[in-house]
A and B are shown apart, each in its own frame.
Chain A
Amino acid sequence: MIEWSERKAYWRHTKVQMLTSLLPFLLALIVLPFYAEVLNDARVLGIPLGYFLACHGLLVIAFVTMAVFVNRQDAIDHWHGAHEDI
């Protein structure tokens, strides 16, 4: 069980992790589609680059974001002793 004195540090750590997970993803989600038209001249695997990045790229970014978040947050939990005692 987490110490009372650790809670503040734990929550600060958690907040930073949340922001570092979500902000880059959010930025990519909003900005990337705007450049699709310009990027479409280049091609990857025969797929126009703009479409490829907006479709495949963002979905991969989403998965990587989530996977990294799960592992990092678990490490934070253990570091501060906030993990579940199972």
Chain B
Amino acid sequence: MAGTSRTRLVNPRLGTYFGIFAAALAALVIMALMFEQLGASDSAIRFLMLAGPIALYGAIGLLSPARETNDYFACGRRVPAFFNGLVLAVSALGGAGFLGLTGVFFAVGFDALCLSLGICAGLVFMGVLLAPFLRKFGAYTVPSYLSRRFESPALRVVAAATLAVPLLLLLAAEARFAAYAAAWLTAQSERLMAVAVVVCVTVMVLAGGMRSHTWSGSAKAIAALVALAVPATIVAIMMSNLPLPQITHGNTLRVLTRVESARGLPLVAAPLLAFDFPGEGLEPLAKRFIQAFGSVGSLAFALMSLVAAAGIAGSPSLLSRPGSSPGVHESRKSFGWAVLIAGVVLLTLPAVAIFLRLMLLDQVIGQPVDRLPAWFQALQKAGIARVDATTPAVGFGNVSFDRDAVLFSLSFAAGFPQALVYLALAGALAAALLALAGALVGSAVLLSEDIVHGLQTEGAPDSSRVGAARVALVGVAFLTGWLAVAAPADPFKLFLWSLTFSASAAFPVLVLSVWWKRINSWGAMVGMLTGLGVAAFVILLAEAGALTMPSVLAGAIGLPAGFAATVVASMLTPLPSRNVVNILQEIRVPGGETLYDRELRLQRLRGRSPA
């Protein structure tokens, strides 16, 4: 788009539009609160808090259709840095971050930091190492970038097949988390809700692809942040008189530490490579909150933060995001926003966990089994908490708590009106829907552009490329629905596996493709396949018990293996051609026309003039 100014591309009224959305959301919540006080039925309030926000996201998605490829696959390259950062941060966390990570903080305290730090560091790595260069290239998918960068059509299919693995795992994980939140919100079965959320997300993004996903995603991200902030802030005021849960939980933490030692919570030391995160469902409190390396060994802690960082940085569903910013500088800025927003969320989640943990320790542990507080009895009845009554007083070993329910149980334990509990659930649902939509669009575009159309995509007219992407979207949606119903594993583990696969298969090759001149197409192909193979092999061995390391750390072996294989294979095969090196030199400089757009423009010019 040479000659078009950045200011002309970006819609100046975006802030107004999303301000209206935030106001509508606030009005909805206040309305639900009033209805509840007026005695409306519980199911009506549930319906309002589920259908209201989803109708808003759906309306935004359906009202931003796209007919041109640039709109459908890259949102017209007109998303300003803040909105890109917002969507990036919340979809990097997703349902796994909001629901799962809070529960992990609740159960293992300090040791959960390895994941939160990893996710934040991943955004930094991606912003510094990859995003600006991928934006300069401007391809719609990672395989399309790699195949052009190395002038190797075969690499496109290999890369697409490789990247499908982390994408499918992410799809299954996020669909499960979304279904979990929706099931609590509607009191329906999780399987039914899995199908319902996949249908909802498909409808939201079908009309406009990346364009629908970006704008409805910004709305979802705002809803997720609001829904996280409101209960946490109110509880923070109740507990510390200050409305900043992120930094004022110090006093709460001191009380918590004292209560923990008074109640005799054990100090445990984990072996170096131990990685004992709570699984799905009801889990006991493992250790004292503040103690380091009680569930996760110190080596595993460092490895997990690096694997998570590389996994987020190489995640194919996030890597399509920089392509939608108006320029290279703007795409760098979007990562600044993303790190800021993700950082604030990642400071709020442990605060939520600390508040709930103190309530549990203070009011439940040590009490007689038959005289527990009302909120805890209600949680027990709902199946979120359980006490195995063997002793007259409740001890640590007897209490277990549903990992994914921690986020919304806080509102419940603090005695808030039901509408606020449903708000917390709707926020977690929004985060999961956002990550699900991102993965769904990412895999559909991968399928239609890189596999179905394969080698001659760019010659095809816009209508057929967009049409193929829509068909692929419906196909992937069916697959996701089936995966969400059929996948038996813990969704949080699926999320970690997805990070491990993208860390070992995608990250090494992508980094070297920008920062190392000697890499050639053989190196890229061998590197991706080796990373994928090694990670899969280690996961299989670890799950079978043949290897004394946790399977989610497979990336710690797969990542170096991927790097080594890329380097060795490149050195053993001929130098990259002059043309390939020229492309690399173009990518490294921010100025000048986006490479992919120039290719399309030249193709159109050739098509118009009779040869």
Contact = CB atoms under 8 A, between A and B. Distances in A.
B591 A82 contact: yes
B292 A1 contact: no
Contacts of A55: 113, 116, 347, 350
B336 A40 contact: no
Nearest to A33: B301
Interface in B314-337: 326-329, 332-333, 335-336
Contacts of B346: 59
A14 B588 CA distance: 9
A22 to B, nearest CB: 6
Given A54-B110, A63-B336, A37 B305 contact: no
A66 B335 contact: yes
B124 A85 contact: no
Interface in B101-126: 110, 113-114, 116-117, 120-121, 123-125
Interface stretch (B192-200, B250-258, B404-412, B428-436): B250-258
A50 B265 CA distance: 20
B117 A54 contact: yes
A66 B127 contact: yes
Contacts of B339: 62-63, 66
A81 B123 CA distance: 27
B369 interface: no
Nearest to B8: A86
A84 B293 contact: no
B65 interface: no
A46 B241 CA distance: 14
A62 B120 contact: yes
B332 A85 contact: no
Given A60-B343, A83-B590, A73 B250 contact: no
Contacts of B113: 33, 54-55
A2 B588 CA distance: 11
Interface in B3-46: 5-6
A25 B124 contact: yes
A83 B301 contact: no
Given A48-B253, A66-B124, A84-B328, A37 B291 contact: yes
A60 B327 CA distance: 26
Interface in B516-567: none
Interface residues on A, range: 35 or more
A1 B350 contact: no
A44 B247 CA distance: 10
A13 to B, nearest CB: 11
Q: Which of B124, B339, B346 has the most CB of A within 10 A?
A: B124
B327 A84 contact: yes
B213 interface: no
Interface in B208-251: 246-251
B292 A50 contact: yes
Interface in A33-86: 33-34, 36-37, 40, 43-48, 50-51, 54-56, 58-60, 62-63, 65-67, 69-70, 73-74, 77, 81-86
B225 to A, nearest CB: 16
A71 to B, nearest CB: 9
Given A30-B302, A66-B127, A86-B6, A37 B590 contact: no
Contact of B589 (A44, A45, A67, A82): A82
A47 B253 contact: yes
B247 A45 contact: yes
Nearest to A29: B121
Nearest to B340: A63
A84 B309 CA distance: 29
A45 to B, nearest CB: 4
B154 interface: no
Contact of A74 (B250, B301, B329): B329
A36 B293 CA distance: 10
A11 to B, nearest CB: 6
Interface string A1-43: 1100001001100110010011001100110011011001001
Across the A-B interface, the 10 shortest Cβ-Cβ residue pairs: A46-B250, A59-B343, A47-B250, A45-B250, A36-B292, A66-B339, A37-B292, A86-B6, A66-B336, A70-B332
5 contacts: A10-B589, A58-B120, A59-B120, A59-B346, A62-B343
Interface of B: 5-6, 110, 113-114, 116-117, 120-121, 123-125, 127-129, 132, 246-251, 253-254, 257, 290-293, 298, 301-302, 305-306, 309, 326-329, 332-333, 335-336, 339-340, 343, 346-347, 350, 515, 585, 588-592
Given A37-B291, A37-B293, A85-B592, 6 more contacts: A29-B305, A33-B305, A36-B292, A37-B292, A47-B253, A60-B343
